Structure 1
Amino acid sequence: MFKKLEGIRYQLIGSYLYAVYFSLLIIALILFFTHSVIQPIWLSVEAIILALIVTALTLSLVGLYVMFRQGGNVKDRLQELSIFIATLSEGKFNATLLMKESKDEFSTLGHELNDLAHKVKGQVKSLERMAEEKSEYAKQAHLAATVEERQRLARDLHDAVSQQLFALSMMSQATSKIIDEKPEQAKEQVEEISQMALQAQNEMRALLLHLRPVHLSGESLHEGIDRLIEELKQRCSIQFKVDVDSELQLSQAKEEHIFRIAQESLSNALRHANASNIELRIKEKDLIYIYISDDGDGFNLDEQMNAKASYGLNSIKERCEEIGGTFDIKSKHGEGTYIDIRIPK
């Protein structure tokens, strides 16, 4: 209730009452001074008090009504501006704020916001054209990038899978030597070996996922993601829940960016999340909505986004921004990861 009293309507009412009572104080001082110094017959103390009470009640009641109505009008117009700004923040740059025929500050601000929305819409179109051009350049540079990608995969194999396999080999040899003398310790080491083997397997699946072509190669986005998920189902025990709109009408550049975003997100989940279930939804309404979640280990978002290991997340964010979209990610240790992406059509 007290928070509501902080609204613009009640601030206007408070300012009005302050002005009324301050004015009454000045009037009271003048009347009492006149009564004391000049001492007119008609001006008695009782008359002064009665006049002040009647004036205070009248001005307060009439003023409260007028200011409540006027404050409500100001509040409604501010709310219209707030809703319009929230609409723009969601990427709906086609929206237009309808303003009343007036020349006050609210109308001026509304026209400026409409101009801003128009300019941002033009910038988004420019970003889309740049994305189209970048897509063409990316195809031309694909052969040159192949060598670099092979080198990166070689480093990943050495840093992750190769080291894990070496550790498995060492632990297996150590376990074989103590299996008769210390069966309980050997059992624990076997379980640890099993976990390391599973992690190495997930690393290999993620690296194999990166070996897929970046482009859809003539497929629709729906077909490309379906084929990607089917391949993953054959290679791992993770449960996938996929819902992709089959009637998406997108440019080739946007389809390729969205496909790469999905590919990168699934790769991150396979390598780091240790998840049992992954959900992927792509829907078209007033925007393109992309939702990706897993029930894995989760992580500290602030630490991860600032770490060198966050290359995958930063790559997803950059791809999203290149086509004018917004990127939001939520994660917490033990509660999984949730990615929410919205891209203008």
Structure 2
Amino acid sequence: MVWRHIGESVLFSLGIGIVVVYLLQSQGLAEPFESWTTIITFGLSAVGALLVSGLAFGIYRSYPIRNRIDTLRDAMLMLEKGNPVPQLPYMGKDEIGRLSEQLSRISYKWEEQVASLQRLSSNNTELAAKARMSAVVEERQRLARELHDAVSQQLFAISMTATAVGRTLDQDFEKAKRQVKLIEEMASVAQSEMRALLLHLRPVHLEGKKLSQAIPELVEEMRAKVSMDILLDMDEDLQLNKGIENHLFRMVQEAISNTLRHAKATRMDIALQMRGEAVRLAIKDNGVGFDVMAKKQTSYGLVSMEERVNELGGSLNVASAPGKGTRIEIRVPIMAKERGWEDGGAATDTSTVS
């Protein structure tokens, strides 16, 4: 559209110039040209002047158009990233103006839908109370399966290997040393599994605490129990409703559990901050990593996180590769009308990571 306006301005200037020259010649107001050289020189000079003036006028005329297009592009990028779009200024009644009005309507509907999702998440108090007992039963069954499938098998393997060490110690000392090393590795794995399972024995809700209290307490507890360095960067003045706080707490809990069980990491960074009109949760570790495409559909933890993020109208991005660690970034838009809204209860929370 910008180049079209510039082209139209240049053509308009040329047309006006031709008309003026014709009128001057036809009315005898201009002296006749003495030679073809004069005609060519005058024609080229006039065309050049008209082109320059038309181009300058076209650029001047297109400047407001370019500004309006940039404003629309910035608004669409904000909407694409999951951030609320501020009120767009009036842009006239042309094509750009109509696009601006349509984008404003789309933005308004998007904000309404996100607000509705978040309000629905925070209004599930009664359902949460009814589902809590069922969740406890399901959690006990899941933990029993995990204990049998993971920890019990590891302990059985440790017991068998320890028995073998007693038989081979006098006969083959080097083999016995390898068996003791294997026992140490299996005990470490069993310990990590047990810590991850114990993490899920924590309450499935915040128990009346604010998110700014619950997450630092969780991180301090993990620092005291595991040898992994856990760094927390969290805004202290987060103003979120209960449903969003509960989901964010559970996603942090799930991420720590997955890292303890599978990542073999020595460091984990957790950042929870407001970024404009959205809250950003970023979790990074230096563990073994995994193939995202192969793991995403089979990992109950990632599926659970994605369901929580979708319920809040946010976005989830997982970046990992074998040997490269893992980074999870979550963005949840916060509508202005939802800030500090505390009338709703905590959302129903029955899922866990495995």
Identify whether the pair has TM-score above 0.5, normalized to the shorter chain. yes
- How far the C-alpha of 1:315 sits from its partner, in A, is 0.8
Change (3 A) 1:58 1:181: farther
Give the aligned partner of residue 172 of structure 1.
162
218, 227, 234: which one aligns with 2:217: 227
2:75 equivalent to 1:84: yes
Of the candidates 301, 304, 319, which is equivalent to residue 330 of structure 1?
319
Structure 1 window deviating more from structure 2 (133-142 vs 144-153): it is 133-142
Q: Name the CA distance, whole Å, in 2 between partners of 1:169 and 1:342.
A: 46
Tell me the CA shift for residue 49 of structure 1: 5.7
Pick from 40, 43, 59: which aligns with 1:68?
59
Q: Give the Cα–Cα distance (whole angstroms) in 1 for the partners of residues 295 and 211 of structure 2.
A: 29
1:246–1:58 CA distance, 2 compared to 1 (3 A): closer
TM-score, structure 1 length as denominator?
0.80
Percent pairwise identity: 39
Q: Is contact 1:325-1:344 (8 Å) kept? A: yes
Structure 1 segment 2-13 matched on structure 2, within 5 A: 12=4
Alignment match, 2:254? 264
- Which stretch has the larger CA shift, 195-204 or 223-232? 223-232
Shift of 1:54: 4.4
Change (3 A) 1:158 1:14: farther
Aligned twin of 1:342: 331
Q: Highest relative contact order (Cα 8 Å, sep 6+), 1 or 2?
A: 2
**Residues 6 and 55 in structure 2, CA contact (< 8 A), matched pair in contact too:** no
SS at match of 1:113: helix
Asked if the contact 1:317–1:327 (Cα under 8 Å) also holds between the matched residues in 2, the reply is yes
1:141 match: 131
Determine the C-alpha separation between the residues in 1 that align with 2:90 and 2:158: 70
Aligned to 2:197: 207
The answer for the alignment partner of 1:319 in structure 2 is 308
**Residues 282 and 288 of structure 1 are in contact (CA less than 8 Å); yes or no, is this contact kept in structure 2?**
yes
Q: How many residues align?
A: 317
Shift of 1:113: 0.9
User: Any conservation in 1 of the 2:318–2:328 contact (CA below 8 Å)?
Assistant: yes
2:86 is matched with which residue: 95, 115, 118?
95
Which of the pair is proportionally richer in helix?
Answer: 1
Q: Which of 134, 150, 155 does residue 160 from structure 1 map onto? A: 150
Aligned to 1:39: none
Q: Gaps spanning 5+ residues in structure 2: where? A: 19-32, 335-354
Aligned AA (2:310): E
Paired letter, 1:242: L
Cα drift, residue 59 of structure 1: 4.5
Shift of the alpha carbon at 1:181? Answer: 3.8
TM-score calculated relative to the size of structure 2? 0.78
> RMSD of the TM alignment (CA)?
3.1
For residues 117 and 13 of structure 1, do their structure 2 counterparts lie closer, same or farther at Cα, with a shift above 3 Å needed? Answer: closer
Q: Which amino acid is 1:91 matched to?
A: G
How far apart, in 1, do the equivalents of 2:210 and 2:192 lie?
27
Q: Secondary structure at the match of 2:124?
A: helix
Closer, same or farther: CA 45–149 of 1 in aligned 2, 3 Å: same
Letter in 2 for 1:298: G
**Amino acid corresponding to residue 269 of structure 2 in structure 1:** E
Q: Which ranges of structure 1 fall in alignment gaps of 5 or more residues?
A: 1-7, 28-41
